Structure 1
């Protein structure tokens, strides 16, 4: 079937080396909700298919050069979804049988009754439509199955998130307070020269980093629950956001880690840059998430570029890195909750999911392009007006 505007039109490629015969069939098929294009040889048929798709091929078996059976094999190799009806002479139906074995829909003997040919074309088209619908239904069922699994996991996460935050954050607060108290004690003049003071300070610093990491994990868990449970149509508090200032702030918050890994961060602004009506702090969180991921994916000597550009109605924020990239098999799952390509203990798999939810709520889109060993490009588009 052709596009939405011509849903009942069947596109047919008629292949026969006899021009007069093609002309007669063309005229008789036209006007029956069938659109016909012609080709005189097998190679011409393949050339035609490469530039203009059809639904059904009607093809003579006996042609000079590449015959119908050889052309059928090429068509099935390149376009397995196409259906081919072969036309054979009365004297040699074996060619039609051979064609059926190679994947032809059916074969008809010449001379052909036009109504029989029309019926076969429609049956072949119905088979294509059924196969397409079955494929779409199978893909839909698989998506629903995956969404149910995710929904169950998020429901369980929602049940435990508040308890986890309470049970973990309370002792974390005590640990942080105690570490701060110890640091104050070590800072007193009478302890200035105690043995191994540097080791104590190093240990307290490690405790502080561990507390920060643990709090970050509980924060991401709570954000994930909030993201999946919040109605995306719920009004949000929009203000005028200066993207350039927001971008510079996000860079300032991650540049120390980037410098430690010897990674350069560049800000690329394409003027004129529109003022965006959005929520600044969630958007800042998304930029920090993307920049942090880029730092983790990029090796020493690499570059991360934060690019800002826009039109009258849309703003685009792009984060490009020269890192390890994302494999093709992982790309479709990159925004799923709990999915991560990082090692155990290095990521929760919630950062990109939370970022996706924030951008959706702000009325925008987020997408990714990536090639292994060449880097990744995350692109955010946001509406300029409220």
Structure 2
């Protein structure tokens, strides 16, 4: 109320309404420290210094201001809560809270989403840590809700950002039949606080007594290889199953007796890499869990390193990664593939004997390297003539030493024994 005086000493009064600021909204609704936020409303002071902005009580720096808009940034130390704007007139508080998100975080994924298993067998899941922002810490892995009689191992037990690990779950005869949801946990320190992220996967344990073939296929880096076909050999190949995201395969109702089983890596080929295919002669027993007897590590051959084989010309195969290796295919000699046609490309890769695509070398033999030949298509090849091969002295032999050479004699139709044999 204002009172005015006049010479005639008459009094008069009127009402003056002072309108303070109001907040109608802000964008974005969330973000980490340093995020630029625009606050909209009414009756802000057009002079930035005449406004005070706080995020849940923590003062922020104002970049610009008008009577209807203020631009600011989320300050250090801010937590989730309302935004306030104070002018010389009054203070306005937002009806909604601004959510302060961490500048770094992570999630964990596990695949496949569900796996079939039998009591007394092992299955695997691929676990991946996905970083967000500047997250760069190691996370410890664990799993909960395992069924009775089951155990779990992570390889490795810690995982780095964008890294992966294998979770292997092994059941026993005491593991009950049924489905169960396992929870995979990744625990790490984020901005000084210990946090845990989880992923759920299913384990479906089926009744024992079935005739199945199970196993896992990995690549040369011991990572799961998905998309590899498991086929029944013969004059016609029959697909029995395909490896999942963790490299598992589970073939139910497997025919008993002796069969050729083909681990067909060609179905996992990409434009950049080609994978080998390995035929194995297995004896399948009825009513039990059958395995390959080893884990195949399918080594990729870069398609860029496949050398053309030109009919009528001598082909000399080398590999910059294998100094001292040379294979010479003489003019007039062909290498006939499993399809009965001459192979037109060839490449070579070296495999460590303990991480090979093939079964273990014969007992009592010592070697450091196995040379794997790739022809850019399904299967190997049989030369129509002599093909000289020079290799480095991998076994460290001395002059005059006699060195036995072995090869894996293979064929998907059963015309070869699919086993290691000595040359000559």
TM bin (shorter chain): under 0.3
| Greater percentage in helix | 1
TM-score where L is the length of structure 2: 0.20
Q: Which has the higher strand share?
A: 2
Q: Normalising by structure 1, what TM-score?
A: 0.22
Structure with greater Cα Rg: 2
